[in-house]
Structure 1
Amino acid sequence: MFPWVRCYILIATIFLGLGSSCESTCGASSPGDIIIGMLCACHAKVESENLHSLIQPGRFNCTEFDLRSFVQTLAVIHTIDTINDSGFLPGIRLGYIICDTCVDASKAIQNTLHLLAINSSTTTQCDFTESPVVKAIIGARTSEVSIAVARLLGIYMVPQISTTSSAAILDDKFRFPSFLRTIPSDEHQTRALVKLMAHFDWNWVGVVSGDDTYGRDALQSFLIEADNAHVCAAFQEVLPHYLGHSDRVQRIREVADRIQSSSAQVVLLILRSALVEQLFKEMIRKGISKTWIATDSWSMSRTLASVKGINAIGDIFGFSFIKGLNPGFNNFLTNLAPGPGGVNSFIEEYKNARFGCSPELIKHKECLKSKSAAHCPLSYSLMLKSELACTLPDPQNANDDFLTDAVDLSLTYSETLAVWSVAHALRSLLKCNQFNCSGEGNILPWKLLQELKKINFTLDNKQFFFDDSGSFADGYDLVYWAKRGDRRHFEDIGRYNLMESVVEIRSASINWATPNGTTFPTAWYVQMEHGL
């Protein structure tokens, strides 16, 4: 029996729930000789009836399907398929198992244990270093979750490659020895943010951050850099990172009031995009216009760019990770299918949400027969619906180009780089040439980690490698949110060069949303707010 056949039988057993009593949210898999794990965030949060007062273990329901994370997950699958078809690893087929963290650290640890123990006959295993099926894990999305997972994977030296977790604390190889990322550390981003502010003489700014590790660390790093550049913080406010927090709505209102009352015309938001959306809606309701600075977590959010009334909120700048192409990905998204031998409940859920019929949609259509569209509001789930919904015999056979329009596909470049990084490390470890791979087939994760740290490859005429802290040092693009109709679109107006620590800005490309740009503060404002 071929190794990938045995692995496929094992994966099928896992999905049927045999041999494992733990609750998992592993929704996608494909057989292969070498298996890559992934911790995705296809759902934005977990819910439980008594989440804030749990006294015993309970089940958590994952809710709020996240299109951007879903597409990033699909980019990993597509890149694995591309490598398999290319013959880059002759005679070797890459497979995958993908589990959903639901942006929850506890859920992520549970599913990480699941990925490590899938080749065991028991639900727990004391030593995962011998020969786990999963040789490397891509993820997680947020730094808060990645830190929790990295603590566990570091014990067994299983490579972890995040494509979005940028917290500077993860640079510490003593605490996180097996953590890598295909993006720069926040240490560089906060420096870039301050240089952007200094360029425009924005020396009096407000800051709103999340209460997670990413928010706390980025805030402290920013304050240090700002102090060195004589950029002063008018105020500092904190929002709960968890979307289900009981005080979230009240805190958003309080923060909005603080922003409104401040003389600071520039506000830095170190938040996840879902929180920015809720804050922006409150600012729009209040009729408040400022200049907003975005971190990488929301600087390219199309959902935010299309929020009703977004053009009234002022100018928006931000830094995004270096973007690139993923050849064939458009076609992959418009012909979604699990692939031969594959399982993908995420695709199934998406297609049901997009093309399936629902009581809510039927009720909405009935409303439109007697009332105007203004009197029949659309919920988020209805916005996902295709015009073909309720007319198709099987939603799973339907496809369209919705995902290519809803998500900026260039944002999946980090996922492409993560998979190619693993492939290049495997090619070295397995001693592959264009005809075969002669190295030992029983790959140990810690040996793969050693090879990952040594990779140096070229893609799209760009060179990629991990620095001493395990990060890619490829810089950032500077993005401006220009008006287009009743929404915003993203324009690259510059770049931050990590090696030279310089922000390059094409100021002539900026079509300011506010007259003559932002009004710069004076020393009088500083004295007024500090009561000097």
Structure 2
Amino acid sequence: RKTVVFKTPINWAVKVTDRLPFPISPTASPGLGTKKSLSLFTSFDLTTFLQSLSAIHTIEEINNSTLLPGIKLGYEVCDPCASPTKALHCVEHLLAVNGSLPALVDYTDFRPPVKALLGERYSELSIAIAKLLSLYLFPQISCSSSSPVLSDKLRYPSFMRVIPSDVYQAQALVKLMSHFSWNWVGVMYGDDDYGRAAYQSFMQESEGKICADFEKVVPHYLDHVDVDKHIKDVAQSIRKSEAKVVLLILKPQLVEKLFKEMIQTNTSRIWIASDAWSMNRFLTKMKDINKVGEIFGFSFSMGITPGFEDYLKNLRPTPGARNDYIEEYKQLRLNCSLSPSTCAVDDVLQAVDLREAYRERVAIHAFAHGLRALLTCNETACSGDTNFPPWQVRVLKPALYREFHVNFTLDGNTYSFDENGDFADGYDLIMWKEKNDERFIEIVGKFLLKNGDVEILSQFQWINHTVTDNHCPQSQCSCPPGSVKNQSKIPCCYNCVQCGEGNYTDGWDLPECLRCPKGMWSNKGDSKCRKFEEKYLDWKDSYPIALLAATAIGLVLVLTSLIIFYVHRNTIVIKKADNTMSCFMLLGLAVSFVSVIMFISRPNEHLCRAQQAVYGLGFTLCVSCILVKAYRTFLAFMAFDPDKQHTLKKLYKPLINLGLLTGGQGIILLFWLVFGSPHPDLKWPGTGMEKYVVCDEGSIVGFGVMHGYIALLAFICFFLAFKGRKVPHDFNETGVIIFSMLIHLFVWLCFIPIYIERNKTEQRHIVQASAILASNYGIMFCHFVPKCYIVLWELSENSRASIIGNIYICVYMEAL
């Protein structure tokens, strides 16, 4: 058989991968022993260990197939330990001829023992070695370096990858955010070639669609002196930000540091993972990882490598040889002893997702198909020379190589590179779901380059702490329903203005508010109109009950006083009080008390008219009676010019005076009811979904004239009583008239500002009803309660003074 070899029959493909679980080792077949290492590192990474084994398994599978008949592929493995310098050292070592790298004018015929290179894991290292390999047009294929700059075939003509460029990842990220209507996000990226390029691609792709509330860059070297300080600053920015979605373009180690800060402060967000850490198994097992919130990410399309699981189950050194890496893996990862019997192979398989190692299988097959074309292989033999210059392994489209390019089918899928050396398949959308205290990674959608859109699987559900009722959480700097947008300087953000009462918006970022339909209303900032609740003085409410109780007590006092005045009408006290006028006063008070009841229940047109009319007539009648009594006292005991006194006495006609004074109020009310009648009206408060059903006064002039007329009568009463305050004590009612009218005037002076302030609520009725009750009780307790007390509890004094009192009354009446 023809063999593509270097020193040993297993040195064809070279894998330079970041932080492999073992040091530089030229031999890597699990069935062989190990050679002396060029350098020693102890870091162990389970994922890259299995990816290496996947490449080895694929090489062995090809060697046992008819893809390259008569050709046996080999490999050598080198670990650069995340250092570009060590990566370049590895490349120089692998390309060396007779122990050194030749310096030639023309490398067309440069024939190193290694024909192609598989690596690197991180873009920063791939860029470093791709610059060197471009000098030789040496084929380099990566399974995870996604930086967009590597698509530049003028700078990196021999670089290829079995994944899409980060340009497409940026498109996928923007499409994901747009799908969930997230347009206000935070961005955190590493200060390296990969982080800066991915960040720039995302910002260019998201321009005008998604805006960043904050953009933070952190050193990508873990041993940087300020890395912890930067992480704390970023964590503080995340906590202060209103953005609920944060894009992390970081290495897994930096993500771990950030998540620890978030867990300590119990901060939950929606995290969007770049491909650098979206599949990291160590992070899924972090302590309290379920506290950080939802985690989404895009991973490169994965698949199942046929026979790989059985290959791992049967993984063991050949008899007589020792593979320290497998034993070290058992010690460090599974805490197994060196005895194979105490550590089941199933434990190894459960610790990782074998689908992550599928890209290595695709990359090896891409090289193999390029080699098959170069060596003109058929099903039985390959006729080409195995000692060929590496640049002749052509896998790209004719834009670079004129003759042919690789286009192959593997496991039922067709693969090819585009003109930039990138795969054009797409990404899997993954979500970290909870499982006990850990997370497991589940594919919930895809991003396909052919249609450029995110497709979410139908069984997708929100499951974490950031959401309720399976509703998508919001992360928007835009105007929510209930407000309208006012353009700001930021394209993705607006200055929002809330819709006023009676207006609404039911969508995001609407330009103007809509008016509520008739019969419905909305509060300020509402997103919909609702039927409002009518508010008025209902019978079962506390205020109306209090008003009814006060009214009932007042009517009882009026009725009691009327009975007492009738039964004891012949006593000196009742006669001095003028029984007839007192009865009319009680009648007016009773009517005024009854008017309070009309302020309770839902207002209608008849009630609104009756409220003011009944009160106006009733209380005017009462005050008119007081005015007649005050005028009588004024005439009897004041000294006038005889002619003038004679004229004034002609005006004293009690019943006529009473009718004229009350009739004047009746005329005022008649004009008011005809030309500006009170009517029910709806008033809206400043807050709440309630409307107040109140009685509108109709004509403010009519309302004011009615109360002004009563106030004028009260003032005249006060004036006449004040003038006659020096009359003999036995016939002196001037004191109670003065005091009762002062109470009335004071109550209604206070009523005016309070009534105006409460004009748009049902409390306006409470204010007026309370004022009516206060005025009524003022008259009741000044004019009637003391007289009833004297009549009932001082009868003996009345009897002794009755004879003398009757004489005085005769004189008093004669004087009138």
1:148-159 correspondence to structure 2 within 5 Å: 148-159=128-139
**Which residue of structure 1 aligns with residue 122 of structure 2?**
142
How many pairs align?
Answer: 460
Partner residue, 1:37: 14
Aligned-pair distance for 1:273? 1.6
2:239 to 260, 266, 269: 260
**Structure 1 partner of 2:252:** 273
SS at match of 1:214: helix
Counterpart residue number, 1:285: 264
Tell me the equivalent position of 2:387.
Answer: 442
Partner of 2:438 in structure 1?
487
Matched residues in 1 for 2:341 and 2:83: separation? 29
Q: Is contact 1:267-1:290 (8 Å) kept?
A: yes
Letter in 2 for 1:351: E
Find the aligned partners of 1:219 and 1:235 in 2 and give their Cα distance. Answer: 12
- Cα deviation for residue 528 of structure 1 reads 13
CA distance in 1, matches of 2:41, 2:328: 16
Kindly state the Cα deviation for residue 5 of structure 1 after the two structures are TM-superposed: 7.6
3-state SS in 1 of match to 2:221 = coil
Distance 1:149 1:39 in 2: 10
Match of 1:468 among 383, 408, 419: 419
Q: CA deviation at 1:80?
A: 0.4
SS at match of 1:83: helix
- The reply to whether residue 227 of structure 1 matches residue 207 of structure 2 is yes
Are 2:478 and 1:523 equivalent residues in the alignment?
yes
User: Does the aligned pair in 1 maintain the 2:395–2:406 contact within 8 Å?
Assistant: no
Q: 1:98–1:83: structure 2 CA closer, same or farther, 3 Å change rule? A: same
Q: How many Å apart are 1:396 and its aligned residue?
A: 12
Distance across 1 between alignment mates of 2:2 and 2:73: 14
C-alpha distance 175-98 of structure 1, shift in aligned 2 (>3 A): same
Counterpart in 2 of 1:211?
191
Match of 1:427 in 2: 372
Question: Does residue 496 of the first structure (1) align with residue 441 of the second (2)?
Answer: no
Counterparts of 1:177 and 1:6, CA distance in 2: 25
Preserved contact between residue 186 and residue 245 of structure 2 (Cα < 8 Å):
yes
1:511, CA displacement in angstroms?
2.9
In 2, Cα distance between equivalents of 1:4 and 1:432: 14
SS of the residue 1:319 aligns to? strand
* SS of match in other structure, 2:7: helix
Instruction: Map 1:364-443 to 2 at 5 A.
Output: 381=332, 384-386=333-335, 388-389=336-337, 392=339, 400-443=345-388
* Alpha-carbon distance in structure 2 between the residues aligned to 1:177 and 1:399: 46
Show CA shifts across 1:279-305 (max 9, x none): 112211111000000111111222111
1:512 Cα offset (Å)? 2.8
CA distance in 1, matches of 2:186, 2:472: 17
Partner SS, residue 256 of structure 1: helix
The Cα of 1:455 is off from its aligned counterpart by: 0.6
Tell me the SS of whatever aligns to 1:504: strand
Q: Deviations over 1:233-289 (max 9, x none)?
A: 000111211222222222212211111111110000011122112211221111100
Deviations 1:331-381 (A, max 9, x none): 22233346799x99xx523412524xxxxxxxxxxxxxxxxxxxxxxxxx4
Matches within 5 A, 1:73-222: 73-117=52-96, 120-127=97-104, 129-222=109-202
Q: Which has the higher strand share?
A: 1
**1:466–1:472 contact (8 Å) kept in structure 2:** yes
Q: Which moved more, 1:442-451 or 1:295-304?
A: 442-451
Check the 8 A contact 1:41/1:66 in 2, yes or no: no
Secondary structure in 2 aligned to 1:470? coil
| Deviation by residue 1:478-520 (Cα, 9 ceiling, x = unmatched) | 1111212111112211111102111111365123312234233
Contact 2:91/2:129 (<8 A) preserved: yes
Inter-CA distance 444–224: structure 2 relative to 1 (3 Å threshold): same
Q: Tell me how far 1:63 sits from its aligned partner.
A: 4.4
2:408 to 432, 457, 464: 457
- Contact residue 5 and residue 74 of structure 2 kept, 8 A: no
* Identical pairs, percent: 44
Change over 3 Å in CA distance of 1:426–1:267 after alignment to 2:
same
Structure 1 equivalent of residue 749 of structure 2: none
SS of 1:401 mapped into structure 2? helix
CA distance in 2: counterparts of 1:471 and 1:316, whole angstroms: 27
Q: Distance in 2 between matches of 1:396 and 1:149?
A: 43
- In 1, Cα distance between equivalents of 2:444 and 2:94: 42
Query: What secondary structure, in the 3-state scheme, does the structure 2 residue paired with 1:509 have?
Result: coil
CA contact (8 A) 2:180 2:472 kept: no
Distance 1:507 1:405, change over 3 A: same
Give the structure 1 partner of residue 48 of structure 2.
Answer: 69
TM-superposed CA distance for 1:143, in Å, is: 0.3
Label 1:338 to 1:442 Cα distance change in 2 as closer, same or farther (>3 A): farther
2:375–2:383 Cα contact (<8 Å) kept: yes
CA distance in 1, matches of 2:494, 2:205: 24
Which one has the bigger helix percentage?
A: 2
Report the Cα distance in structure 2 between the residues aligned to 1:103 and 1:84, rounded to whole angstroms: 31
Could you say if the C-alpha distance between residues 450 and 490 of structure 1 is closer, same or farther in structure 2, counting changes exceeding 3 Å?
A: closer
Instruction: Check the 8 A contact 1:167/1:217 in 2, yes or no.
Output: yes
Shift of 1:133: 0.6
The amino acid that maps onto 2:258 is L
Residues 178 and 449 of structure 1 are in contact (CA less than 8 Å); yes or no, is this contact kept in structure 2?
A: no
Unaligned runs of 5+ in 2: 24-37, 481-486, 496-816
Asked whether 1:348 is paired with 2:348, we answer no
8 Å Cα contact 1:45/1:244 also seen in 2: no
> Higher mean Cα deviation, 202-211 or 257-266?
257-266
Q: String of CA shifts for 1:420-471, please: whole Å, max 9, x gaps.
A: 0011111111111111111222221111136787010111221101100000
1:7 aligns with 7
Change (3 A) 1:218 1:496: same
| Structure 1: gaps spanning 5 or more residues | 9-30, 47-58, 356-380
Give the letter aligned to residue 349 of structure 1.
Answer: Y
Coordinate RMSD, CA, aligned: 3.0
Offset, 1:531:
12
Contact persistence 1:43–1:103 (CA under 8 A): no
Secondary structure of 1:449's aligned partner: coil
CA contact (8 A) 2:433 2:439 kept: yes
Structure 1 SS opposite 2:74:
strand
Distance in 1 (CA, whole Å) between partners of 2:318 and 2:195 is 38
Residues 283-332 of structure 1, C-alpha deviations (whole Å, 9 max, x = no match): 11111000000111111222111111111111111111111111111122
TM-score w.r.t. the length of structure 1 is 0.80
Q: Which has the higher contact order (CA 8 A, sep 6+)?
A: 1
Structure 1 stretch displaced more, 316-325 or 251-260:
251-260
Which range moves more in the overlay, 69-78 or 124-133?
Answer: 124-133
Distance 1:465 1:2 in 2: 28
Contact 2:183 2:210 in 1 (8 A): yes
Q: How many Å separate the matches in 2 of 1:187 and 1:178?
A: 19
In the alignment, is the contact (CA less than 8 A) between 1:271 and 1:297 conserved in 2?
A: yes
Q: How far is the alpha carbon of 1:60 from its aligned partner?
A: 7.7
- Per the TM alignment, residue 145 of structure 1 is displaced from its structure 2 partner at its CA by 0.2
Within 2, Cα distance between the matches of 1:138 and 1:501? 29
Q: Match of 2:546?
A: none
